[in-house]
Amino acid sequence: MRTLILSWEYPPLIEGGLARHVRKLSENLVQLGAEVHVLTRGDGAAPDEQLLGGVHVHRVREPDRPRDLGEFVTWIEHMNTDMLSAGVALGDDYDFDVVHGHDWLVASACDHLARRFDRPLVMTIHATEYGRHQGWVDKHPQSHIHGVEKWITNRADKVIACSAYMREHIADIYALEESQVNVIPNGIDPEDLRPMDNLEELRASFAEPDEKLVLLVGRLVYEKGFQVALEALPTLIENVGNVRFLIAGSGTHEEELKAQAEKLGLMEHGTFVGWIGDDVLHSLYKIADLTVVPSIYEPFGLVALEAMASGCPCIVADTGGLREVVPTESVGLRFQSRDPKSLAHMAERVLTDPELRDRLVTEASDHVLTFDWLDVARTTLELYDDAVAVGPGAPAATRS
């Protein structure tokens, strides 16, 4: 099996979780005997052609992406044109069996290449514009992105979602049968979560020994729900005492969140550290007493998995894919989504009950092993085989 995977990011160029997902999937597909070529963008920091972890990585150099969303959409269109040109050249050298794209960002190039090669098109939908904006997709550029997502999802021969929640969500908003969407969860490799050496020093820089450190990690955007967590913190601090918070990440909502924290009188109780590298992030899980995932919209919930794999108890919003990552109270607690009081109550339970904390950590360490990357790759490879057997452009009823 020779597959061409398209992704707008791939290590060392990392904008978010997508790059890590595609890398782990690709490397584990190689372990199973597949030949994997990844077509992605580059910034000149890495070679244009590279064999990395057994994966053939082909990079198309692109200028730095603009921050304005309207300009970003135009930039993505240019990137797809460049990827298409590079993909056509690759097709002259390799006979690919399947084309696999990740999200709307590479939709146009994926579609053209699959048609040109007359090969099945597989699309993984990691999140939707509809979900990110709670259904408000009637204005540009959200309407454009939503339209591209709907088109490419219906065009694909196989569609992959990362959770049963996302399967239902995708089928609903893009008018598909749920049977047409295949659930393949994200994976996690605890060996990748390598902390720094000076954990005691790092912990001391954020909290005193007798203080409880509450960690929030992710993009600082509305759908991640950090505003709900901030609203809950005054109650938690009052009831527990000696609580400090740490917010790691950056995004469009950052200044608004800082203003909210200031208004709530929280800045003397915590820190916004901005974007951080993986080594520091993995260390924060190790030094925190609790990780909170307060998302309003969450297709999967990788932060919760990382926290559990690192031995940090977590509480998550009772919504989306988080229900599948934290399915029972034996591995983590769920609070009512968008409800600061519920969040504060669950956080207080974990921070004041050592037996509960120890049980959560112990049970979660086994639970995370069920999200194995090799299993993810094996299921994906089986889906590739099915797509090739049926062929491209098959009737919708045969695509599940």
State the Rg of the chain over Cα.
Answer: 21
Query: What is d(CA 69, CA 72) in angstroms, rounded to the nearest whole number?
Result: 5
Q: Are residues 387 and 313 in the same domain?
A: no
Sign of the torsion angle spanned by Cα atoms 320, 325, 330, 334? negative
Q: Are residues 348 and 380 in the same domain?
A: no
List the beta strands (DSSP E) in 210-280. Answer: 212-217, 243-248, 270-274
Q: Are residues 247 and 130 in the same domain?
A: no
- Determine the structural domain holding residue 306 and report its residue range: 190-370
Query: What is d(CA 334, CA 190) in angstroms, rounded to the nearest whole number?
Result: 23
Q: Are residues 330 and 257 in the same domain?
A: yes
Query: What is d(CA 20, CA 158) in angstroms, rounded to the nearest whole number?
Result: 22
HEC secondary structure over 86-114: HHHHHHHHCCCCEEEEECHHHHHHHHHHH
Give me the number of domains the chain comprises.
Answer: 2
Number of other CB atoms surrounding residue 7 within 10 Å: 25
Q: Are residues 377 and 271 in the same domain?
A: no
Q: Are residues 137 and 252 in the same domain?
A: no
User: Which residues on adjacent β-strands are paired with residue 52?
Assistant: 55
The residue behind tokens 């915590």 is: 270
The residue behind tokens 């709907």 is: 150
Q: Are residues 366 and 378 in the same domain?
A: no
* pLDDT attached to residue 394: 60
Domain holding 78: CATH number? 3.40.50.2000
Q: Are residues 77 and 13 in the same domain?
A: yes
Q: Who contacts 216 (Cβ-Cβ below 8 Å, separation ≥6)?
A: 226, 229, 245, 246, 247, 248, 249, 291, 292, 293, 294
- The one-digit pLDDT tens for each residue of the chain (400 residues) are 999 999 999 999 987 789 999 999 999 999 999 999 999 999 988 999 999 999 999 999 999 889 888 899 999 999 999 999 999 999 999 999 999 999 999 999 999 999 999 999 999 999 999 999 999 999 999 999 999 999 999 999 999 999 999 999 999 999 999 999 999 999 999 999 999 889 999 999 999 999 999 999 999 999 999 999 999 999 999 999 999 999 999 999 999 999 999 999 999 999 999 988 888 999 999 999 999 999 999 999 999 999 999 999 999 999 999 999 999 999 999 999 999 999 999 999 999 999 999 999 999 999 999 999 999 999 999 999 999 999 998 644 445 5
Q: Regarding beta strands 212-217 and 290-293, do their DSSP bridges make them parallel or antiparallel, or are they unpaired?
A: parallel
Q: Are residues 118 and 39 in the same domain?
A: yes
CA distances from 212 to 88, 201, 248 (A): 55, 16, 17
Q: Are residues 141 and 239 in the same domain?
A: no
Query: What is d(CA 172, CA 155) in angstroms, rounded to the nearest whole number?
Result: 16
Q: Are residues 322 and 360 in the same domain?
A: yes
Query: What is d(CA 69, CA 71) in angstroms, rounded to the nearest whole number?
Result: 5
AA identity, residue 156: A
Q: Are residues 154 and 217 in the same domain?
A: no
